[in-house]
């Protein structure tokens, strides 16, 4: 199994959280990272970032999928490249490998980002049958965005494994998300002024998912 790393927005910190989860749980499970859809590949390569920050071996990275040049919503980036993203084709890449590891799958943008004319990112999560980890900002507005994301997942019967808040710690926002969302905040990740694999690994071991709530989703 594994988890799907989604977010309340784009540029929220999903890639760093993905690398942190690898650093946190590598010693307990065979892990593999996958970014099914990457837009703006000429400017951002999340797979390369996770490889570096997670200090990943080749077998911990699956670098196949949709790779589009324009940094836009997947459906629009694909349309401008005269193509269309097909969910079944993505599943055909994943399913033969599904049982080979516990997967850290990173989405593009948020849950309701369009992938093609008929499908949203949340539809891909549903097809992968992965519990979701929501990455959210800690600042003003996060309560509404996070609770809406939780509701969208629950409306589709997708398990939500927890929330990682990114930014300056905000106790009231954290308490509200946990109370009204009936969900655990797995960690509050700072905006690192300097980020290296070593710094991220230390933070992940000390701060990420202290209660081991994600452990049940990883093969031991």
The per-residue pLDDT for 137 is: 97
Counting residues of the chain whose pLDDT is more than 90, the rounded percentage is 93
Residue 24 lies in a domain: yes
Mark 172-195 as b/e (b = at least 16 C-beta within 10 Å): ebbebbeeebebbbbbbbeeeeee
* Cα–Cα distance for residue pair 34/37, rounded to 1 Å: 9
Task: With respect to residue 204, please indicate whether it lies within any of the assigned structural domains.
Answer: yes
In a domain, 190, yes or no: yes
pLDDT in tens, 104-140: 999 999 999 999 999 999 999 999 999 999 999 999 9
State the total domains in the chain. Answer: 1
Q: Is residue 102 included in any domain, yes or no? A: yes
User: How confident is the model at residue 24, as a pLDDT?
Assistant: 96
DSSP string, 124-156: HHHHHT--EEEEEESSTTHHHHHHHHHHHHHHT
Asked if the structure places residue 218 within a domain, the reply is no
Active-site pick, 14, 30, 35, 126: 35
CA–CA gap between residue 81 and residue 44 (Å, rounded): 17
Is 35 designated active site?
Answer: yes
146 in a domain, yes or no?
yes
Model pLDDT, residue 166: 98
- pLDDT the model gives residue 99: 87
- Distance (Å, rounded) from C-alpha 169 to C-alpha 120? 31
Q: CB of 130 within 8 A of CB of 105?
A: yes
Q: What is the pLDDT of residue 38?
A: 95
pTM across the whole model: 0.95
pLDDT tens, residue by residue, 132-173: 999 999 999 999 999 999 999 999 999 999 999 999 999 999
Average pLDDT value for the chain: 95
**CATH of residue 64:** 3.40.50.300
Instruction: Indicate whether 219 belongs to any domain.
Output: no
Which domain, by its residues, includes 75? 2-212
DSSP state of 176: H
pLDDT tier at 19 (50, 70, 90 boundaries)? very high
Supply the pLDDT for residue 43.
85
User: Does residue 217 lie within any of the structural domains?
Assistant: no
Q: How confident is the model at residue 220 (pLDDT cuts 50, 70, 90)?
A: low
């Amino acid at each position: 199994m594994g988890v799907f790393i989604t977010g309340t927005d784009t540029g929220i910190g999903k890639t760093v959280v993905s690398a942190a989860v690898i650093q946190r749980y590598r010693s307990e499970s065979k892990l593999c990272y996958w970014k099914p859809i990457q837009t703006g590949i000429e400017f951002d390569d999340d797979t390369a970032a996770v490889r570096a920050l997670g200090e990943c071996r080749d077998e911990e990275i699956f670098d196949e999928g949709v790779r589009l040049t324009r940094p836009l919503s997947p459906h629009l980036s694909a349309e401008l490249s005269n193509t269309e993203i097909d969910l079944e084709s993505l599943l055909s890449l994943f399913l033969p490998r599904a049982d080979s590891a516990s997967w850290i799958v990173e989405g593009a943008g948020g849950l309701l980002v369009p992938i093609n004319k008929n499908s949203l990112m949340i539809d891909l999560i549903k097809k992968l049958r992965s519990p979701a980890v929501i990455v959210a900002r800690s600042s003003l507005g996060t309560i509404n965005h996070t609770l809406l994301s939780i509701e969208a997942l629950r409306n589709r019967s997708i398990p939500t494994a927890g929330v990682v808040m990114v930014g300056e710690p905000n106790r009231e926002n954290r308490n509200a998300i946990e109370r009204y969302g009936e969900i655990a905040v797995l960690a509050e990740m700072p905006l690192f002024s300097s980020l290296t694999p070593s710094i991220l690994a230390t933070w992940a071991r000390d701060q990420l998912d202290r209660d081991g709530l994600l452990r049940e989703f990883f093969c031991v």
